[in-house]
Amino acid sequence: MGKPTGFIEYLRQTPLDRAPLERVKDWREFHHELDEKGLRNQAARCMDCGVPFCHTGKMLSGSATGCPINNLIPEWNDLIYRGLWREALDRLHRTNNFPEFTGRVCPAPCEGSCVLGINAPPVTIKNIEHAIIERGFEEGWVVPEPPAVRTGKKVAVVGSGPAGLAAAAQLNRAGHSVTVLERADRPGGLLTYGIPNMKLDKQDIVARRIRLLEEEGIKFVCNVTVGENYEAELMRRDFDAVVLCTGATQPRDLAIEGRELSGVHFAMDYLTTSTQALLAKDPASASIHAKGLDVMVIGGGDTGTDCVGTAMRHGCRTLTQFEIMPKPPLERADDNPWPEWPRVFKTDYGQEEAAAKFGHDPRVFLTTVKKFVGDENDRVKEIVTVKVGWERNAEGRMVVVEQPGTEQTLPAQLVLLAMGFTGPETGLPHDLRLELDERQNVKAEYGRYTTNQAGVFAAGDCRRGQSLVVWAINEGRGAARACDEWLMGRSDLPA
């Protein structure tokens, strides 16, 4: 610890964001950065806490506690305080292949379990991580590092999201020849098409890392859907091992009257078409567009927020976001103690932008949608909502109960379903004759990642279900080690 009294002397300070009404006019990232003095002061707030929880990477009460990839946070905080940026980058890369992704889109469970956070605002771990990796790129310290020797083994990684990229990077580092198969027209998975550009720039950030991986020897093949235009069994014959990182891309639907109407879309379809149009340098050409429309986002979470932010940039007329859960408290509840992830009320970037334009937070809590109403052209024109409560049933489980007399009809020409995902698409697991677990994820033990088919491994959301980018990186790295050990009898990759 560089400054024993830093946590007393310095208040938590994060960079200012661009003004909401300014940033909705473009698709550029909206965060500013602290200067070096400010960053070193923030790093000085890291305590010599004896038993740091920030890098524990555990699940408590269903949420991540600490860093799932076990980042050596106290170590690189100390190095930044002392101005040793290159050394801090080396420590960061010991555990994290892609700090430029996590430093932007991770919700920072590390900060939720920061010891300083028990009775004061936690250390700004995420901002410091982001600053370290960007300094590394600026200084030219991040360069391709191809392996010195090749093993002669060939591995296919199916899916190029964060789990797939992490698995590919580690397997390539072990000397295997890695081919990443991606069904979209560009690599990156949800990093490219599932997260909007204002949170994670595609050309400057995602493509930059893809180029590095290519220069290290990884081959990316896009527009390949295994099981359709490339037979699964042929893939098994072409490669010595396969790592499935296909994600949990089956969206949760809302089976109510009017679901078939035009204008009701899954959130990911909306976000994908928007990014595709942006990458084609014609944002207005998106096949699903919110300009001049009354937009309803059903569901909270990051995906719902991203829909809000995207609709704001499209120029929607009005925007409302419905959440079936109650509004969280402003401070930790008694049943949500440290070091659990703090389930408290927060205003994310999308809600901040909507509030700046429309004068109020767009979220409506304890509300669900009962029906979609269409016009004469079978296009949605209205939604019918109802207030709900949560009560225990005879079995003791909490269930949703509608509140009589609270129905409301609202205008809506675009409805976006952002209610999460139910699991992976089952076509490829079926083709590979893989066992599924009770949640319909690919069955593979955590830490081993082996499926019932020898030489086939599974990692990320297709194995654990919908989760965080940082957990996907954790699993990709773990599956790479398991695959390397299976191929070679031993592995020098980190556990």
Report pLDDT for 74: 95
CA distance 106 to 64: 11
Report pLDDT for 64: 86
One-letter-per-residue 3-state SS of the chain: CCCCCHHHHCCCCCCCECCHHHHCCCCCCCECCCCHHHHHHHHHCCCCCCCCCCCCCEEECCEEECCCCCCCHHHHHHHHHCCCHHHHHHHHHHHCCCHHHHHHHCCCHHHHCCHHHHCCCCCCHHHHHHHHHHHHHHHCCCCCCCCCCCCCCEEEEECCCHHHHHHHHHHHHCCCEEEEECCCCCCCCHHHHCCCCCCCCHHHHHHHHHHHHHHCCCEEECCCCECCCECHHHHHHHCCEEEECCCCCEECCCCCECCCCECEEEHHHHHHHHHHHHHCCCHHHCCCCCCCCEEEEECCHHHHHHHHHHHHHHCCCEEEEEECCCCCCCCCCCCCCCCCCCCCCCCCHHHHHHHHHHCCCCEEECEEEEEEEECCCCEEEEEEEEEEEEEECCCCCEEEEECCCCCEEEECCEEEECCCEEECCCHHHHHCCCCECCCCCECCCCCCCECCCCCEEECCHHHHCCCCHHHHHHHHHHHHHHHHHHHHCCCCCCC
φ, ψ of residue 345 in degrees (nearest 5): -70, 130
Domain with CATH 1.10.1060.10 in the chain: 6-139
CA distance 174 to 166: 13
CB-neighbour burial class of residue 324 (10 A; exposed 0-12, middle 13-18, buried 19+): middle
CA distance 77 to 70: 14
Domain 253-419 grouped into CATH 3.40.50.2300:
no
Report pLDDT for 6: 93
**Cβ-contact 206, 193 below 8 angstroms:** no
- Which overall architecture, per CATH, does domain 154-249+422-488 show? 3-Layer(bba) Sandwich (3.50)
CA distance 46 to 49: 8
Report pLDDT for 50: 84
Topology classification of domain 6-139 = Fumarate Reductase Iron-sulfur Protein; Chain B, domain 2 (1.10.1060)
CA distance 340 to 334: 11
CA distance 412 to 433: 43
Report pLDDT for 61: 87
CB-neighbour burial class of residue 133 (10 A; exposed 0-12, middle 13-18, buried 19+): buried
Report pLDDT for 62: 86
Domain with CATH 3.50.50.60 in the chain: 154-249+422-488, 253-419
Report pLDDT for 495: 73
From first to last of its 495 residues, the chain has per-residue pLDDT tens of 678 899 999 999 999 999 999 999 999 999 999 999 999 999 999 998 888 999 999 889 888 899 999 999 999 999 999 999 999 999 999 999 999 999 999 999 999 999 999 999 999 999 999 999 999 999 999 999 999 999 999 999 999 999 999 999 999 999 999 999 999 999 999 999 999 999 999 999 999 999 999 999 999 999 999 999 999 999 999 999 999 999 999 999 999 999 999 999 999 999 999 999 999 999 999 999 999 999 999 999 999 999 999 999 999 999 999 999 999 999 999 999 999 999 999 999 999 999 999 999 999 999 999 999 999 999 999 999 999 999 999 999 999 999 999 999 999 999 999 999 999 999 999 999 999 999 999 999 999 999 999 999 999 999 999 999 999 999 999 999 999 999 999 999 997
**Token reading at 420:** 């999460």
Report pLDDT for 65: 92
**Token reading at 493:** 């990759």
Q: Which of 427, 425, 426, 424 is nearest to 230 (CA)?
A: 427
**Tokens 């050990």 identify what position?**
485
φ, ψ of residue 289 in degrees (nearest 5): -135, 145
